Structure 1
Amino acid sequence: MTNDVKIINLRNYLYGNFIDNLRLFTRGGSGGMGYPRLGGEGGKGGDVWVVAHKKMTLKQLKDKYPQKRFVAGEGANSRVNALKGSKGKDCEIPVPVGISVTDENGKIIGELNKEKDRILVAEGGLGGKFFTNFLPLKGQKRIIHLDLKLIADVGLVGFPNAGKSSLLSQISHAKPAIADYAFTTLKPELGKIMYKDFKQILVADLPGLIEGAHVNKGMGHKFLKHIERTTQLLFVVDVSGFQLSSRTQYRTAFETIILLTKELELYNEELQAKPALLAVNKMDLPDAQNKFHQLMNQLQNPKDFLHLFEKNMIPERIMEFEHIIPISAITGEGIDELKNCIRKSLNQENDAYHKKQLLNLQISNTSHREPLFQNALASSRMDTI
């Protein structure tokens, strides 16, 4: 069996069991009939809500509701013994945490980032009453899209076969599929780095990126969209460079970093603002030290080497790494240092966030106090007149 056939079979087996987007039909319940003779009001139709649950997946949702239709209950009619009809039963759609909900036009309705978050997606119709001539209104009808974006502290960024899956298995308890050909990771894998003081950091190994991913080549947007919800990026590159196949161009480690940066920029330039670390992998290979020194020289003076690239391959902004760590995911070299650097970088990020929040609070308090002070001063002047 050729590598290409292996890749296709593995893609169908693994990625077929992972779903990160769904299209659903939703409709709020119709209102109940009013009672014209006694002025009774029909009950409001039920609403349709999307609700986040930690142990839910989109695959489970699709399996449980294969028709992907969600309709809320109708409001009760007004009756002689119950002039105010009761509200129709709400319909709840259980989804995983990390879902973005959009309408048919791509407009974001809302996001669910934690357990029990809920979003109203289709409102029930009003019951019949005087100003509707006692006739009920139909519920809102809406097509919605559920888009899963993984929430993680660290997102691994790298071309296929850079060793991301091997690295994830080294630094966490995750057990991703690992093989010696490209595209071994066809669905996101999550792992937790566990520290001795019980600190935990969530790491996401995402489907392999290739040149042209920003226009949806390869795993394209299935990969890139997940990076948006990570706090920081960990670039993983092969110290010997990368070549996808015999028909594609060989790229050095430095070229790999430049191209990865360009793909992020073309998809969403805001991704480049995230703090980033670089793990230079496969340091156990022959001549790895010389290649690593060469890479460090290029990273310290990147502009001296950009003339080697075509203009459309050069990013507007060169990625700056907070830490560069040589590692071997096979032998374990540099793994402990990498884990410490990840934690240190995240702590700095959290400290910066809290300082910014405190500064905003101080500015807010000052702006509220100044008018009070000025009013008191004006009042005291009035007293002296």
Structure 2
Amino acid sequence: MVVLTRVLGYAVRKGPRNYLRGTFMDSLRLNVKGGTGGMGLPKYGGCGGRGGNVCLIAKEGLTLNQVKTQTKSMNLAAGSGSPSSAKQLMGQIGEDITLPVPSGITILDDHGRRLGELDEPGKTVIVAKGGIGGCPETGFSGQKGQSHAINLDLKLIADVCLVGFPNAGKSTLLKTVSNARPRIAAYPFTTIRPNIGVIEFKDYRKISIADLPGLIEGAHINIGMGHKFLKHVERTKLILVIVDIQGFQLSPEHTARSCFETIVLLNKELELYKPDLLNMPAILVVNKMDTENAKEKFEEISPMIENYEQSIKKFPEEIQPEQALLFDAVLPLALGENDANEIRRLKEKIRYVLDLHAERQEMEKREEYPDYELMMKMKREAKQTTPTLV
């Protein structure tokens, strides 16, 4: 990030403007405490009840904003176990607390250690265990439950993620191919919170696509979101890089970058955040082909894109990526024209690349595990025959 800031020559603002902060929440801190175990009864050998657990369960359709609103306090404490008595030697277990949270949550402690992940609806994780009830092993003394702070880190789950500089046309692309209705304007930074749309096909196939604000544009001028939203790219299956054929210039005061330079800088930005992202499937969309001299400019950079790995070596070391982003397809488009044929071509290419890599992953699994087909068959049969608890 420091490298890109220096190269692009952007001035760092003291802080983000309030209206750009948005209301989207992708992290939440909670204090959780398991219940204390009940006291045992040494005279009769009675054991106290175990303290209750604090659990999180993934639920579809929730947001962290709703979780914060519905949770009266950021402190969650489970019930204590009841003590053993002459009338009831085995104390009752303390009441558990189960908090519904959005799918896609990673649970971290204050040291950044991962405590669990809720990546599908219905999945449950215990974040604070209740203490053991009083028994001979504890000297009949009830034990305290776990008590610590946890951070709920939300990563959006989408099939496709849009990555690009300001005003490249990400929101326009999202609007033309999906059912999303993002804010669109002729100036940068109109997207101030994530937008997710769904591409629907005639055979009822659906592909989700996300436009994440502040991924690239906010990072180098300290808009306030910066790399904060790059984490959402990790959960997608395909990166769709979108650039303006006319290049990028934040304002007349800043250095203008050519179209090919913006591709290289986006590549470098992803690499600086997490090199593994460069191994993901990717499509390059060169937008605004309806603007002046667009055709000539595209013909000029086409050979450079075809020999991308060699072309990036001509750039200075400070902006040259160590690993090239490999594009499965390059599409020159004029998204502002809303041409039906172009939109259909883009949709079909997105679907093709996703399916192609899904097939490759399936083949790799079969090669790695000789009994993969048998294993999958057993899983399917187990789902059909396993009884459901009501």
Q: Is TM (by shorter chain) over 0.5? A: yes
Show structure 2 runs of 5+ residues with no match.
1-12, 375-390
| Matched AA of 1:281 | N
Letter in 2 for 1:266: L
Kindly tell me: are residues 348 and 30 of structure 1, through their superposed partners in 2, closer, same or farther at Cα, counting changes over 3 Å? same
Whole-Å separation in 1 of the counterparts to 2:73 and 2:25: 16
- CA displacement at 1:295 relative to structure 2: 2.1
For residue 382 of structure 1, what is the aligned residue in structure 2? none
**CA distance in structure 2 between the partners assigned to 1:134 and 1:252 by the alignment:** 74
Q: How many residue pairs end up in the alignment? A: 358
User: How much has 1:215 moved relative to structure 2?
Assistant: 11
- Give the Cα–Cα distance (whole angstroms) in 2 for the partners of residues 216 and 239 of structure 1: 25
Question: Does 2:235 correspond to 1:226?
Answer: no
Q: Pick the structure with greater CA Rg.
A: 1
> In the aligned structure 1, how far is the partner of 2:125 from the partner of 2:277?
27
Q: Identity rate of aligned residues, in percent?
A: 45
Is 2:102 aligned against 1:96?
A: yes
Q: How does 1:202-221 map to 2 (within 5 A)?
A: 202-210=208-216, 213=219, 218-221=224-227
1:274 aligns with 2:280: yes
| 2:352 matches 1:344 | yes
Which of 134, 140, 162 matches 1:134?
A: 140
> In 1, are the aligned partners of 2:365 and 2:372 still within 8 Å (CA)?
no
- Cα distance change on mapping 1:9 and 1:122 into 2, 3 Å: closer
Which structure 1 residue ranges, 5 or more long, are not aligned?
367-385
Question: C-alpha separation between the residues in 2 aligned to 1:183 and 1:115?
Answer: 33
- How far has the Cα of 1:284 moved from its partner? 1.6
Distance 1:247 1:210, change over 3 A: farther
Q: State the distance in 2 between where 1:42 and 1:150 align.
A: 43
Q: How large is the Cα RMSD of the aligned pairs?
A: 2.2
Asked if structure 1 preserves the Cα contact closer than 8 Å seen for 2:128 and 2:145, the reply is yes
Distance 1:354 1:214 in 2: 38
Counterpart of 1:244? 250
- Which deviates more, 191-200 or 85-94? 85-94
CA deviation map 1:177-213 (0-9, x unaligned): 1122111111111100001111100101101333783
Given candidates 15, 19, 29, the residue that maps to 2:25 is 19
Please point out which of 185, 197, 203 is paired with 1:179. 185
The residue number in structure 2 matching 1:253 is 259
- Cα distance between partner residues in 2 of 1:308 and 1:212: 27
Q: In structure 1, what is the equivalent of residue 4 of structure 2?
A: none
TM-score by length of 2: 0.87
* Partner of residue 63 from structure 2, selected from 33, 57, 65: 57
After superposing the two structures, state which structure 1 stretch, 107-116 or 241-250, moved more. Answer: 241-250
The residue type equivalent to 2:360 in the other structure is A
Q: Is the 8 A contact 2:313 2:320 kept in 1?
A: no
TM-score, normalised with respect to structure 1: 0.88
Q: CA deviation at 1:343?
A: 0.4
For the 8 Å contact 2:30–2:151, the answer to whether it is kept is yes
Mapped partners of 1:218, 1:143: distance in 2: 25
Tell me if structure 1 keeps the 8 A contact 2:131–2:145. Answer: yes
Relative contact order higher in (CA < 8 Å, ≥ 6 apart): 2
- Residue of structure 1 in register with 2:76 after alignment: 70
* 1-structure distance, mates of 2:70, 2:256: 46
Residue deviations 1:220-278 (CA, integer Å, cap 9, x gap) = 22221000000010001111111122332211111111000101111110000001001
* In structure 2, distance between residues paired with 1:344 and 1:261: 23
Letter in 1 for 2:319: M
1:163 and 2:143 matched: no
Matched to 1:8, the amino acid is R
Distance 1:9 1:128, change over 3 A: closer
- For 1:99, the aligned partner's letter is I
- Residue 78 of structure 1, CA deviation: 0.9
Measure how far apart 1:320 and its partner are: 1.8
Task: After TM superposition, give the deviation of residue 302 of structure 1 in Å.
Answer: 3.6
Comparing 114-123 and 240-249, the one that deviates more: 240-249
